[in-house]
Each structure stands twice: as structure tokens, then as C-alpha cells.
């Protein structure tokens, strides 16, 4: 039973599924200047105009000309990754559908991208929610400053041990893959946590260049700010499951997403468990749709027997069979 109270029967019926593709979407950190440039002449570029109308602001320059220092800001970074990912999805969708998609998942912000791709949320509502989420998390980070650090070679138990050095100021934020756990907290709490990590033998501690302690209790203000948007968003049931970051469960129901996305703001992203769930559902290939290769990189550790592909630019995408009857569909 999931936290939303919905039965997670997809995990109990994995043997019923045909082997196929898991579509996965990146989160903040995959941003880079000019991610939109390869897509300007693509039919998918119409999504940018739709996003601008939905948000009532210009967004094209973020994808084409914004410098790296602007994209380092949380709101801009998240919008760029969200839009670049959906540009790739719009172009790749028919081909991936033809191969057989068993589930969708996204890391952090990528969870909203996954919901749009799966049809759980209309595109315009998704881009508004992504923009509102980015603003809420940035405001929460400004109000309660924090940082993140990756513990390479650490187990989850070691990361939890490290956080005991500052129980009110340091928490596990991401369990990304075997040997990679991220902790976050206040500047003082994270300093104590990383010092403890070194004491217990963690071989490498890397400070992450992000704007806050995301997926920790320091994001509580974002919950209050975003909850009205989540409860009013027009989620619908899906035919294929979308995985939830806080519990790695697979869900097709609409009703539980406001609670799951609220939990996601202040609880760890369980990406290692997400990969296990995806393979349990029959995924034999992970396709990372959008910029970067972070998630396929994690899969090399967390799902070593799965085939991996990255679709980030038009040249990565093989056009679907021109005879497919659904080739004219757009992101809804």
C-alpha cells in the first residue's frame, strides 16, 4: 500500500508485463546553454510557444542564449531541463511507443516530465506546475539556505550514520545508485555530516553545485507554497505506471499524485530502488530522454544487465515508421 493509500498492485503483477522500455527523465543538473538549438527547426519546437503562453513569459531565450550563470539558478535550470526533455520526448515518442513502453520515471523535477509524457498531466498544466515548483523550491532555499554533497562509495547505512552528526541539520537527500548517496542540510549540518562521513571511511565526498538542500526538511516551505497547485492540477489515470520518487512505487491512479509530489519535496529520491522497480516491471532497456547522461550513468551501477540509450538531440532519434497511424499525435 502506498503512502497515498492506493494499492500498488503493479509490483504484484510484474509477471503479466511484456518486456520493454522504461522511459526516464533527468532532473536539475542536466541544464546547459543552448539546449534548444538543435530543436529550432523541429516540429517539436511548437512546444516552446505553448509553454510561453502557459506561463505568460518568454522562455525561448532560456533554451537558446541564456549563459551558464543564469541557468545555475534553480527556476531557470528546472524549466530548461523540463522543456528540453519534452522536446526530445515529442520527437521520440512514436518510435518508443512502437518498441513497447512499460513504465515512466523521472528524477526529482523529472517526475513532472514523466507525468506529462505518460499522459497523467496535460502539457500546459505540467509546464505551469514545473515553473511553480521551481519558484517554490528556490524561495524555500533562500529562506533556509542549505547544500548537498555526494558520498561516493557509501552505503545508505553509512550515509544515515553520517547524518547523525547533525540530526536536526543533515539528512539523506538521494539514494541514487549503489555507491552513490547524496546528503543535504544546513551549511553547518552538512559540514558536520561530511566530516563524520570521512571519519567512517567514505572514500570521496563531493560538494554539489546546487542552490539548496533539496529533498530534505529544509524544503518544508515549498510544500506549503506548492500544495494548492498540486491539489488543483488536473491529473488523470494512466494506462502505464509512473514511478514515485519517495517510495519507488509504480502508480496509474490520478488521486495520489498531489500527496506523492508533496512528499517528494522533503523526502529522499529513492532512485536506486526505482531502477529495481523498473526492472521488476519488465524493463529490459532504459531510455533517458532529455539532456545529459546522468541517469544512464547511474543505471550502469544500479541495473547493470539493462540496455541503455540516450535521446537528447534530433540526431539521436530514429524516425518512427511513417505508416504508423498515431504519428500525428502531440503532447497533450
Cell numbers for 126:
505540467
Q: Are residues 155 and 284 in the same domain?
A: no
What is the torsion angle, in degrees rounded to the nearest 10, for the CA atoms of residue 115, residue 176, residue 132 and residue 240?
Answer: 10
Distances from the Cα of 84 to the Cα of 16, 17, 123, 174, 255, angstroms: 33, 30, 13, 23, 28
Indicate if 322 belongs to the active site.
no
Q: Are residues 134 and 226 in the same domain?
A: yes
Q: Which of 83, 92, 90, 75 is nearest to 34 (CA)?
A: 83
Q: Are residues 52 and 125 in the same domain?
A: yes
Distances from the Cα of 116 to the Cα of 39, 104, 228, angstroms: 19, 10, 19
> Using alpha carbons only, what angle is made at residue 65 by residues 64 and 70, rounded to the nearest 5 degrees?
115
Please tell me the total count of domains within the chain: 2
Q: Could you tell me the residue range of the domain that residue 190 belongs to? A: 147-208
Q: pLDDT tens-digit profile of 46-72?
A: 999 999 999 999 999 999 999 999 998
Instruction: In whole angstroms, give the CA distance from residue 264 to residue 216.
Output: 9
- Residue 79 falls inside a structural domain: yes
CATH number of 298's domain = 3.40.366.10
- Exposed (0-12), middle (13-18) or buried (19+): which is 77, by Cβ within 10 Å? buried
Residue 159 pLDDT exceeds 80? yes
Per DSSP, helices labelled H in the chain are 46-55, 60-64, 68-71, 74-99, 110-118, 123-143, 156-163, 187-199, 220-232, 257-266, 271-280, 294-302
Q: Are residues 199 and 228 in the same domain?
A: no
Q: Are residues 77 and 222 in the same domain?
A: yes
Q: In the sheet where 147-154 sits, what is the strand order? A: 170-177, 179-185, 147-154, 204-208
Instruction: In whole angstroms, give the CA distance from residue 111 to residue 256.
Output: 14
Q: Which of 283, 280, 290 is nearest to 307 (CA)?
A: 283
The region of weakest confidence among 6-10, 237-241, 276-280, 309-313 is 6-10
- Residue 4 falls inside a structural domain: no
Q: Torsions phi, psi of 318, nearest 5?
A: -85, 125
Indicate if 107 belongs to the active site.
no
Residue 254 pLDDT exceeds 80? yes
Residue 5 pLDDT exceeds 90? no
What is the torsion angle, in degrees rounded to the nearest 10, for the CA atoms of residue 33, residue 123, residue 211 and residue 264?
Answer: -140
The reply to whether the predicted model has a pTM over 0.85 is yes
Q: Are residues 121 and 257 in the same domain?
A: yes
Q: Are residues 48 and 185 in the same domain?
A: no
- Residue 168 falls inside a structural domain: yes
CATH number of 175's domain = 3.30.70.250
**Active-site residue (options: 4, 85, 108, 244):** 108
Q: pLDDT tens-digit profile of 213-251?
A: 999 999 999 999 999 999 999 999 999 999 999 999 999
Residue 17 pLDDT exceeds 70? no
Residue 326 pLDDT exceeds 80? no
Q: Are residues 186 and 42 in the same domain?
A: no
Q: Is 286 left (phi over 0), alpha (psi -120 to 50) or beta?
A: beta
Cell numbers for 226:
506548492
Q: Are residues 91 and 57 in the same domain?
A: yes
Q: Are residues 167 and 38 in the same domain?
A: no
- Residue 93 falls inside a structural domain: yes
**Active-site residue (options: 4, 85, 215, 244):** 215
Q: Residue 269 has what DSSP assignment?
A: B
What is the torsion angle, in degrees rounded to the nearest 10, for the CA atoms of residue 108, residue 294, residue 170 and residue 261?
Answer: 10
pLDDT, position 4: 41
Q: Are residues 123 and 99 in the same domain?
A: yes
- Residue 323 falls inside a structural domain: no
pLDDT, position 209: 81
pLDDT, position 12: 45
pLDDT, position 332: 53
Amino acid at each position: 500500500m502506498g503512502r497515498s493509500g492506493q494499492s500498488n498492485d503493479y509490483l504484484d503483477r510484474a509477471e503479466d508485463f511484456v518486456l520493454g522500455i522504461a522511459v526516464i527523465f533527468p532532473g536539475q543538473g542536466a541544464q546547459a546553454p543552448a539546449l534548444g538549438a538543435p530543436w529550432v527547426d523541429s516540429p517539436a519546437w511548437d512546444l516552446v510557444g505553448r509553454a510561453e503562453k502557459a506561463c505568460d513569459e518568454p522562455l525561448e531565450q532560456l533554451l537558446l542564449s541564456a549563459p551558464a550563470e543564469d541557468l545555475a539558478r534553480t527556476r531557470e535550470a528546472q524549466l530548461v531541463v523540463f522543456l528540453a526533455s519534452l522536446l526530445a520526448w515529442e520527437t521520440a515518442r512514436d518510435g518508443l511507443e512502437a518498441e513497447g513502453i512499460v513504465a515512466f520515471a523521472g528524477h526529482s523535477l523529472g517526475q513532472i516530465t514523466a507525468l506529462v509524457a505518460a499522459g497523467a498531466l496535460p502539457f500546459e498544466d505540467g509546464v505551469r506546475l514545473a515553473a511553480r515548483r521551481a519558484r517554490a523550491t528556490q524561495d524555500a532555499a533562500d529562506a533556509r539556505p542549505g547544500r548537498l554533497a555526494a558520498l561516493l562509495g557509501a552505503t545508505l547505512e553509512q550515509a544515515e550514520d553520517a547524518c547523525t552528526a547533525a540530526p536536526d541539520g543533515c539528512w539523506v537527500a538521494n539514494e541514487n545508485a549503489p555507491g552513490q548517496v547524496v546528503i543535504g542540510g544546513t551549511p553547518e549540518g552538512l559540514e558536520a555530516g561530511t566530516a563524520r562521513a570521512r571519519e567512517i571511511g567514505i572514500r570521496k565526498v563531493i560538494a554539489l553545485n546546487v542552490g539548496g538542500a533539496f529533498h530534505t526538511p529544509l524544503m518544508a516551505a515549498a510544500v506549503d507554497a506548492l500544495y494548492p497547485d498540486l491539489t488543483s492540477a488536473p491529473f488523470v489515470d494512466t494506462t502505464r505506471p509512473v514511478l514515485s520518487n519517495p517510495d519507488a512505487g509504480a502508480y496509474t491512479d490520478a488521486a495520489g499524485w498531489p500527496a506523492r509530489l508533496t512528499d517528494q519535496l522533503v523526502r529522499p529520491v529513492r532512485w536506486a530502488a526505482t531502477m529495481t522497480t523498473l526492472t521488476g516491471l519488465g524493463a529490459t532497456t532504459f531510455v533517458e530522454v532529455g539532456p545529459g547522461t546522468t541517469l544512464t550513468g547511474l543505471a550502469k551501477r544500479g541495473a547493470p544487465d539493462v540496455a541503455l540509450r540516450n535521446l537528447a538531440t534530433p540526431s539521436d532519434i530514429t524516425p518512427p515508421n511513417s505508416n504508423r497511424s498515431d504519428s500525428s499525435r502531440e503532447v497533450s
